Structure 1
Amino acid sequence: MSQRINAFAMGNKAVNALNHMGTQVHHSSLDRSFLELLYFRVSQINGCAFCLDMHSKELRANGETEQRIFLISAWRECSFYTDREKAGLLWAETLTSLNGKEVSDEIYAEAIKHFSETELVELTMAVIAINSYNRINIAFGADVGTYEVAEKSTI
């Protein structure tokens, strides 16, 4: 891919608004480790190599097991993800691949069983944020492999 613009370095107001939303989600009541798993899974679905690199490094730096990282795409079949994590991942996958479909009552019921109304809105915003970051990185060809975990993690 040829060199493209760095949308995050431009000071663009819309990108800044997305970053602000990401910061708000980061400071939400949702567990930071779970959010990183969710970001990793959504990035897998979207094929965002930059975000996969970033979130795998964040997950490992914060003590997530290799097993849970490697098997996240098969979370439905694994006993080492909690019911809450599974409900959140189902919600995230559903929102990521809506394709004009509604979220079913069954999926909503499973999510609201494990997340408060406030948490479900925060979870939805997290899914919106990572999907947006994925699309920006894919569109503009982010420099995959360059992400470095901050000395003090943000999780």
Structure 2
Amino acid sequence: MKQRINYQKAAPGAFQAMLGLEKYVRQSGLEPALLELVKTRVSQINGCAYCLDMHTQDARAAGETEQRLYLLAAWRETGLYSERERAALAWAEAVTQLAGHGVPDAVYDEVRSQFEEKALVDLTLAIVAINGWNRLAVPFGVQAGSYRPRGEHASGARH
């Protein structure tokens, strides 16, 4: 598929608003490694090749292991993830897949045992943001393969 619309150019104000949410999430105090795992898992669910490429590269650049990235889609089947990561991944999946069943109390209880209120709101905003990016990249055909990790202070479309 070729890129259908360059949403950054078509709606620069909306793009800047999305970047503002990303900036908030990055400065929220949540662990960068945890955020990359969540962004990668949500992008797997949504089938967003561009975001998968971006967030697996960013995770590797930040020291994430290949094994944990390879097994992320089956995180429940391995002991490679901490209790906090497991709670965040379960929350990310539930928030991403709301249709028809909402978020089960057991998932909420698990994530609340690992995250204080503000941190849980921040985690949820990170999930909202990556779902938004996925929903821009997939329908508009943003092409995977061109992303290269940059430093945290670089400008551009890093999300």
TM-score range, shorter chain: over 0.9
Aligned residues: 153
Contact 1:87/1:110 (<8 A) preserved: yes
* 1:4 equivalent in structure 2: 4
5+ residue gaps in structure 2? Answer: 154-159
CA distance in 1, matches of 2:55, 2:88: 17
Equivalence map 1:115-134=2 (5 Å): 115-134=115-134
Contact 2:7/2:136 (<8 A) preserved: yes
SS in structure 1 at match of 2:98: coil
Shift in Å, 1:105: 1.3
* 1:72 maps to amino acid: L
- Give % identity: 46
Q: Does 1:97 align with 2:111?
A: no
CA distance in 1, matches of 2:49, 2:102: 28
CA distance in 2, matches of 1:90, 1:113: 13
* 1:40 equivalent in structure 2: 40
Shift in Å, 1:37: 0.8
SS in structure 2 at match of 1:140: coil
Report the aligned-residue RMSD: 1.3
* 1:6 maps to amino acid: N
CA distance in 2, matches of 1:24, 1:83: 25
* 1:14 equivalent in structure 2: 14
* 2:27 equivalent in structure 1: 27
Runs of 4+ more than 4 Å apart: none
* 1:66 equivalent in structure 2: 66
Shift in Å, 1:153: 4.5
CA distance in 1, matches of 2:86, 2:68: 12
CA distance in 1, matches of 2:39, 2:112: 20
Q: Which deviates more from structure 2 when the two are superposed, residues 26-35 or residues 3-12?
A: 3-12
Contact 2:22/2:126 (<8 A) preserved: yes
Contact 2:92/2:124 (<8 A) preserved: yes
Instruction: Calculate the TM-score normalised by the size of structure 1.
Output: 0.93
Shift in Å, 1:59: 1.0
Tell me: CA distance 1:3–1:71, structure 2 relative to 1, closer, same or farther (3 Å).
closer
CA distance in 2, matches of 1:141, 1:15: 16
